[in-house]
Structure 1
Amino acid sequence: MNAVLQLEDFKDDFDPFTAWATIGGEGAIIDPYPELARLRQDSPVQAIDLRAHFGVTIDQSMEGLNPYVILGHKEVSEVLSNHADYSSKIFERNLGEVFGATITAMDTPEHGRYRRLFQAAFTPVRLDAMRLKFQGVIDRLLSNFMHRGKADLVQEFAFHFPFQFITDLMELPMADRPLFHKIAFAQTTIGFAPYHGREASRILGNYLTQLCEVRRELKSSDDFVSLICNAEVENERLPDDVTISFFRQLMNAGGDTSYHGFSNALTALFSNPDQLEAVKNDRSLIPLAIDEALRWNCPVMIVHRTPKRDVVLGGVEIEAGANLIVCLGAANRDENVFPEPDKFDIFRERKRHVAFGFGLHVCIGQHLARMELTMALNALLDRLPNLRLDPDSPPPVVTGLGMRGAHSVNVVWDL
């Protein structure tokens, strides 16, 4: 595995890590929920472009399609679970542009054929085997600041652990990892920075093609990349375009959700000291806290679908081929399902939220994400005594519309 792989950088100073806030215009969106609630209460389905409504940069990948935003929990669940009437192929316009032959943009039966194979990489047995590797990432990051008594838990911890875990899992050369992270993240900007999104896709595709070729030569290897590169569907090797698409998407699907989700969980808990104290005293509450944080501020606010035929949804007539902007964040704060929906409450009655989607396309890595977030929070509470917000720093704020997360969570602890 010592072959020299070629990974390019952009030829300009494009920074994908700030692009959502700056070029995408989302940095100023602090609390979209009152307006989302007003819209939902007026009608759970609205013939508007949500990004235009909030005054942020339009998603160029959806130009030319009539937009409808889906806001109610019932209507969102219907669109995500009714695969006979609603298609995911609309993702070919954005995710398909950068990831290639992604299962996210496939409908049944094609979707099911490949999804079953990829799910095998995230079985409970395999997740247990991944725990030790993930613990190593946590230990490595904590060692950088444990001695200081203060840190920014987003910039120094949450931003790094999911991505470092994936690069560890893929056993990438250490020298390539920071640039790999940057280029992979840049793919998410396809909707508002299409040149850099496509360039990131090209660069990453070339690199991953080389990587698979190297790993296939190691016929006895059972590492994660080799497992996928040599996988078979119906006695035939997985098509190269599907294999490369999986790895292109892994960094974003596996990294962004955990990074943004954990920053939101930290914000919620540290902004509610009584609930943080309850979690400190009873670690069995951590899964509840993670789940509630995902509902309260889900990291990926919007997914897309398109009707296969003319439909009526929420009393609104929608033509086949329209752009359905499925607002997961609005559905997760629907007062008809979640009493006092704007309140973060780890003790609320458990009802299914849609932060990981719903139906056949539910997030394939959701169990990995929950494992990561649970282990990360346990580690912080175990090793940083009397952990609390830094009174000399601004309180954490969650921002964003398409992806929501906190930029900083500054804390202190006793040495």
Structure 2
Amino acid sequence: MIVLPKLEDLSDPTFDPFEMEKLSTGDCPDPYPRIHELMEQGSVVEGSYRDQFTEIRDVQTGDLAQVMVLGYDAVMHVLTHPEIFTNREAFLPSLGVSFGESISVMDAPDHTRYRRIFQKAFLPQVVAKWGETIVDPVVNALIDKFIDTGKADLVHQFTHHYPFQVIYAQIEMEPEQGPVFHKLAIAQLLSLIGAPQGQEATQKLGTFFGELLRIRRENPGTDLVSDLARAEVDGDYLPDEVLISFLRQLINAGGDTTFRGTSALLTALLTHPDQLDAVRADRSLISQAIDEALRWEVPPTSTFRYVIQDTEIDGVKIPKGTFINLVLASANRDPRKFSNPDKFDIFRERKHRHVAFASGPHLCIGQHLAKMEMTRALNQLFDRLPNLRLDPDMPPPQLIGHILRSPEHIWVKFDT
């Protein structure tokens, strides 16, 4: 019998990184009026996106010369010109500190080389198999816990758990280790605001995944870590440091964004009952409902790039050495591309694709998994919770945050 390593909790086990994380994500109820004001100033606006909404300093990038890039065309220009706007210098002070040598911190040729290997584990046909074997059992087990009550808080009882439990199942982690894993994964990002628990969490997850990788190399199985350890393209394999960094980032890049995307999707549908009824009656509409939710509430609202040569956008000169705040939310709500962009409308005409998964060489590697998880979660909620609706006796869901947005609660009722 293979004995897997045990995660070590934070030295202060009472520390709550989820509460501290809110200092980073913010409590802004609606950043879009300010985003539209910024867009009216042009495609390039001096300053930090974060500083528009909070006085809590970003200790890793706060002293760099920064500009915001806004609007669909300008954002796409930056995303698709990596020879000018690079990832490495942009993310070394942040994701590099939290995760290590992640592919998010790489530029070509290293990024191209290692991404090809990672992609083998996330091909659509591979992801589709996880739907029945991993995602459905996780979703159904969570629903089983509240299905007899006729009511639920879908955030605390469902969306805040299922994407993470999918990851635990993918790496075959014992369920009892899940809470510590989730805590450490969230705590990693607290280095952004200078919390010492950030580096402690990074170190402890590195130790755990290093030992797990050693075990899986010696005793390969059917889990994701074994698959990634064996994955190769033209004789190239993933170095341990790169693979460990990817696993450190997995719960944030895969779990947290899917939790927030699913929460936004449910918020949008439940507060638009006509569209909820349409999707419930015709499941072929689920795909476009997901796409519209990701356009309407992109997780995250902004990302970063670094300028390595003098350039310009829409006639505005941007010197080498400038730190770019790339406001993805401004692209997805650009009125020049999406009519009435602040409205959630699954039936809108789709002339332009959203940038929730970015674009260019750093297009999200887990996009197929995220959409599959959201699709299966919504189908199971509809199938198992008849007449799912908002609880009229409780406050309606309210999305909050300026970077990573989600509701605190989604209180619902359903027939039993």
Aligned-residue Cα RMSD (Å) equals: 1.4
The code of the aligned residue for 1:385 comes to P
Alpha-carbon shift at residue 339 of structure 1 (Å): 0.6
The 10-residue stretch of structure 1 (226-235 or 39-48) with the greater mean CA deviation from structure 2:
226-235
What TM-score do the two structures reach when normalised by structure 1? 0.96
- Distance, in Å, in 2 between the alignment partners of 1:136 and 1:94 is 35
Contact 2:85–2:305 (CA<8 Å) still a contact in 1? yes
What TM-score do the two structures reach when normalised by structure 2? 0.96
> Match for residue 281 of structure 2?
281
Q: Any idea what the Cα deviations from partners look like across 1:150-207, whole Å, max 9, x if unmatched?
A: 0011110000000000100100123211111111122232311442221111010000
**Mapping of 1:382-393 within 5 angstroms?**
382-393=383-394
> Match for residue 238 of structure 1?
238
> Match for residue 129 of structure 1?
129
- Distance, in Å, in 2 between the alignment partners of 1:4 and 1:337 is 50
The code of the aligned residue for 2:289 comes to A
> Which ranges of structure 2 fall in alignment gaps of 5 or more residues?
none
Alpha-carbon shift at residue 58 of structure 1 (Å): 2.2
> Match for residue 262 of structure 1?
262
SS of 2:196's partner is helix
> Which ranges of structure 1 fall in alignment gaps of 5 or more residues?
none
SS of 2:317's partner is strand
- Distance, in Å, in 2 between the alignment partners of 1:148 and 1:321 is 57
Q: Any idea what the Cα deviations from partners look like across 1:213-270, whole Å, max 9, x if unmatched?
A: 1111114x33221111233454354211001011111111110111000000111111
> Match for residue 184 of structure 1?
185
- Distance, in Å, in 2 between the alignment partners of 1:189 and 1:301 is 18
Is the aligned partner of 1:44 residue 2:43?
A: yes
SS of 1:357's partner is coil
**Mapping of 1:168-179 within 5 angstroms?**
168-179=169-180
The code of the aligned residue for 1:391 comes to P
> Match for residue 366 of structure 2?
365
Contact 2:9–2:184 (CA<8 Å) still a contact in 1? yes
Contact 2:25–2:404 (CA<8 Å) still a contact in 1? no
- Distance, in Å, in 1 between the alignment partners of 2:57 and 2:18 is 19
Alpha-carbon shift at residue 111 of structure 1 (Å): 0.6
Contact 2:25–2:405 (CA<8 Å) still a contact in 1? no
The code of the aligned residue for 1:367 comes to H
- Distance, in Å, in 1 between the alignment partners of 2:213 and 2:163 is 22
Contact 1:45–1:72 (CA<8 Å) still a contact in 2? no
- Distance, in Å, in 1 between the alignment partners of 2:142 and 2:55 is 34
The 10-residue stretch of structure 1 (307-316 or 85-94) with the greater mean CA deviation from structure 2:
307-316
- Identical counterparts, % of pairs: 45
**Mapping of 1:49-128 within 5 angstroms?**
49-89=48-88, 90-128=90-128
Contact 1:216–1:229 (CA<8 Å) still a contact in 2? yes
**Mapping of 1:286-325 within 5 angstroms?**
286-325=286-325
Contact 2:128–2:372 (CA<8 Å) still a contact in 1? no
Contact 1:398–1:407 (CA<8 Å) still a contact in 2? yes
The 10-residue stretch of structure 1 (151-160 or 306-315) with the greater mean CA deviation from structure 2:
306-315
Q: Any idea what the Cα deviations from partners look like across 1:105-158, whole Å, max 9, x if unmatched?
A: 111111111001111101122112101211110111010000000001111000
> Match for residue 408 of structure 1?
409
SS of 1:324's partner is strand
- Distance, in Å, in 2 between the alignment partners of 1:237 and 1:353 is 33
- Where does structure 1 differ by over 6 angstroms across 4 or more consecutive aligned residues? none
Alpha-carbon shift at residue 300 of structure 1 (Å): 0.8
Contact 1:25–1:57 (CA<8 Å) still a contact in 2? no
Contact 1:153–1:411 (CA<8 Å) still a contact in 2? yes
SS of 2:5's partner is coil
The code of the aligned residue for 2:65 comes to N
- Distance, in Å, in 2 between the alignment partners of 1:15 and 1:156 is 19
Aligned length: 412
- Distance, in Å, in 1 between the alignment partners of 2:206 and 2:288 is 38
The code of the aligned residue for 1:287 comes to S
> Match for residue 271 of structure 1?
271
Cα distance change, pair 170–4 in 1 and its aligned pair in 2 (3 A): closer
The code of the aligned residue for 1:382 comes to D
- Distance, in Å, in 1 between the alignment partners of 2:234 and 2:290 is 38
**Mapping of 1:157-176 within 5 angstroms?**
157-176=158-177
The code of the aligned residue for 2:318 comes to I
Contact 1:59–1:192 (CA<8 Å) still a contact in 2? yes
Alpha-carbon shift at residue 367 of structure 1 (Å): 0.7
- Distance, in Å, in 2 between the alignment partners of 1:293 and 1:187 is 28
The code of the aligned residue for 1:228 comes to L
Contact 1:87–1:307 (CA<8 Å) still a contact in 2? yes
SS of 2:412's partner is strand
